[in-house]
Structure 1
């Protein structure tokens, strides 16, 4: 078989060294995938932590940045959470990613683990659907000094602490004042993140091809504060202007535990996007039907 891709990164869902020992099932999955890809004539390189976790010493390994520089395709085994972390690191290298689902929902890890061989073989031969997803770049500014900086693939969330009352936020879009909102918090989500927390909070789903964010208040005091879809070409500024108790900010799984009054969160489109490859015939609406249980009992 002639492969379009030659150097394949394999990244699994692993725990920190202090966590419990890896399950035999997870290690066996990585072994099985690595052996299949190698049998197709490709070089398989594991990320360092996955190799340690799975006890796989018969394959070379690199850190994630090394994989981005050396490999021309990444296979990510796990759930959407695993993919979020990997994609933020590898986007800068333009490495396309393929998701093999070992989690629950799997909106972006869409290849079933039980039947990965045929899908991976076809993708390696150049038969696939491409899917580009934007990343957010967020900064937390305190007295004009950046105290935290992160990228996010799903969302940026500002919310109240577990015991405090509502938080008051001042919102600007593209330098224009929008509103002051009193709520439990605020979500700014990408099209990818529109099917995550933002959807649970009452926001709309955005097709991945739409260059937009969705901004969704969490339990707003004023019920006229509704979700709004915004162009991703403009920067969003969220300033903490009031509220009692702790206020926190979360960027996908990355957190800044405490914000202060006057802190501003600046959200804009990142310089890089994530490139996903899916099996031939994949489409976004089929994913929604499957993952959200649409048309259950119908044809």
Structure 2
């Protein structure tokens, strides 16, 4: 059994859980492949197993890996997606962060959860992604896809930008705002939600366009079909704007027009029997809880 492990530097307080994970996998006889930078970090923190095979990107990830474990929070999971890409490799996250909408395995349940995964007692949930392209630039060195959202921001704090948005060639709106978020159902509980966007269930076949601090308060988020293509043209006094693709950012000229559409592949998230979408919403968003007691 071959398992890939991805992670980033984290708070030393979770090191006992990481040690527990590696000890458990060793007892199971698992062959571990680990992200190189993360392996260097771990070996500086505790006596991690030596001479483990490593990978650095999607291109050198072995094709016979059974699943990948992401150690960290939701941001680490988003980075892991850039490694998995279109391989179809199942992905599970052990939550060492805060909310854990994507990394849903609690660090105190590592052994029980991994036992279920090793025994294949799980389901795969397909999550749609967005991709962004420009005619004149190779965006993000080919990693131009997002599980959460693709967002355009103003370059600085001097003035708003105008985002001219077209859907399938038809003008939708000229947004006067600090920016514009285009989110997947997965990303609808992230930045889009904090800007007033709706929550959408995975598999709903939609994306949501959410303005950031729009000048016209009548402009509200709008849900569109994931089969549509969105074109964005940005106007700014600075002649620049920032493009964000999950955890990646690039500064672009306003001469760069963007095309956003559904990515040609999806991500397979591992979901255990006790890991329901609505139970996650209730837990993370404190639904049904009298917050006056907090």
TM-score in terms of structure 1 length: 0.88
Matches within 5 A, 1:254-265: 254-257=248-251, 259-265=252-258
Distance 1:110 1:136 in 2: 22
| C-alpha distance after superposition, 1:71-119 (max 9, x if no partner) | 1201111000000011122032111011100000010101111121111
Alpha-carbon shift at residue 292 of structure 1 (Å): 0.6
Matched, 1:12 2:7: yes
| C-alpha distance after superposition, 1:231-271 (max 9, x if no partner) | 111111110134456421111111112x3333212111112
Partner secondary structure for residue 46 of structure 1: strand
Matching residue of 1:214: 208
5+ unaligned residues in a row in structure 2: which ranges? none
CA shift in 2, pair 1:147/1:98, >3 Å: closer
> How well do the aligned residues superpose, as a CA RMSD in angstroms?
1.9
Alpha-carbon shift at residue 130 of structure 1 (Å): 2.0
Alpha-carbon shift at residue 279 of structure 1 (Å): 1.6
Matching residue of 2:63: 69
Distance 2:109 2:205 in 1: 33
Partner secondary structure for residue 230 of structure 1: strand
Matched, 1:29 2:17: yes
| 8 Å Cα contact 1:129-1:282 kept in structure 2 | no
Q: 1:128 aligns with which of 110, 122, 146?
A: 122
| 8 Å Cα contact 1:68-1:90 kept in structure 2 | no
Partner secondary structure for residue 203 of structure 1: coil
Q: 2:139 aligns with which of 141, 145, 148?
A: 148
Matching residue of 1:167: 161
Partner secondary structure for residue 137 of structure 2: strand
Matches within 5 A, 1:66-145: 66-139=60-133, 141=134, 144-145=135-136
Partner secondary structure for residue 69 of structure 1: coil
Distance 1:281 1:25 in 2: 26
Matched, 1:49 2:37: yes
5+ unaligned residues in a row in structure 1: which ranges? 1-5, 15-21
Matched, 1:39 2:27: yes
| 8 Å Cα contact 1:40-1:121 kept in structure 2 | no
Distance 2:272 2:28 in 1: 17
Matching residue of 1:293: 286
| C-alpha distance after superposition, 1:28-83 (max 9, x if no partner) | 43332122123123222222112111003423322243335241201111000000
Q: 1:280 aligns with which of 273, 284, 292?
A: 273
CA shift in 2, pair 1:28/1:54, >3 Å: farther
TM-score in terms of structure 2 length: 0.89
| 8 Å Cα contact 2:154-2:236 kept in structure 1 | no
Distance 2:239 2:53 in 1: 49
Matching residue of 1:3: none
Q: After the TM superposition, which parts of structure 1 deviate over 4 Å for at least 4 consecutive aligned residues? A: 242-246
